[in-house]
Amino acid sequence: MSRPFDLTLYLVTDPRLVAERGLLATVEAAVKGGVTLVQLRDPDAHGRALVEQARALKALLAPLGIPLIVNDRVDVAVAADADGVHLGQDDMSPADARALLGPERILGLSVGNPAEFAGSSSGIDIGAVDYLGVGPVKATGTKKDAGAAIGAAGVAAVRALTRRPIVGIGGIDGALAGEVIRAGADGVAVVSAICAAPDPEHAARALLSAVTAAR
């Protein structure tokens, strides 16, 4: 069984957007504002740099009880003793990742739409997964190869297919956060709404209020 996690407000990091403020200062501020889960995502970084970043984030987050997820890289998560991994449809299969990660680490899987969910759930893979990242909800400039936007209605359509925890992602701001929760998501995942905000603590607090109000 995986360790506990809370999808309410899931920060996915982007080194380009945190810019001079830096990764650690941005995450520290965001956690003060109420972020409940953090993912290290840096598609351009190589393994050694990723392990260093993951270790630094783990040292910051572990005393606060906030789990650290690593995007894509099972090896980096294990090396840095992170709490879990998030996989896309083209990444290592969840079943293979679970075999490497063991039963306790948290495993997330991206699902772009109801058909993609059906494809994943028809195999054995879905049983290895703890939560689903569903999106993009709205078009986003943060991920160049994101699929077509599915809207809050798309989140509701995936919700109708599974009881597994789901988090909406893609183009989410304070206004859309409430819609995504009302569509049945357990939480929202954001990159630019926090990483590019002038005050990440304030931005996180506002998003958390929107999620809480919509529940």
Ligand X SMILES: Cc1ncc(COP(=O)(O)OP(=O)(O)O)c(N)n1
Binding site for ligand X (CB under 6 A): 10, 12, 39, 41, 43, 71-72, 86, 88, 91, 108, 110, 133, 143, 167, 169, 189
Give the integer Cα–Cα distance in Å for 194 and 202. 9
Q: 7 with 36: CB under 8 angstroms?
A: yes
Give the integer Cα–Cα distance in Å for 155 and 180. 7
The CB-of-10 to ligand 3NM minimum distance in angstroms stands at 10
- Under the binding rule (CB under 6 A), the answer on residue 128 touching ligand 3NM is no
Q: 9-28 mask for ligand 3NM (x: CB under 6 A)? A: ---x----------------
The CB-of-63 to ligand 3NM minimum distance in angstroms stands at 27
The CB-of-98 to ligand 3NM minimum distance in angstroms stands at 20
Q: 84 with 2: CB under 8 angstroms?
A: yes
Nearer to ligand X, 144 or 163 (CB): 144
The CB-of-87 to Mg ion minimum distance in angstroms stands at 6
Q: Which partner, ligand 3NM, ligand X, Mg ion, none, binds residue 128 by CB below 5 to 8 Å per kind?
A: none
User: Residue 40 forms beta bridges with which residues?
Assistant: 70
Show the beta-strand stretches assigned E in the chain: 9-12, 37-40, 68-71, 84-87, 106-111, 131-134, 166-169, 187-190
- Under the binding rule (CB under 5 A), the answer on residue 116 touching Mg ion is no
Active site residue 73: no
185: tokens are 């998501």
Give the integer Cα–Cα distance in Å for 177 and 207. 7
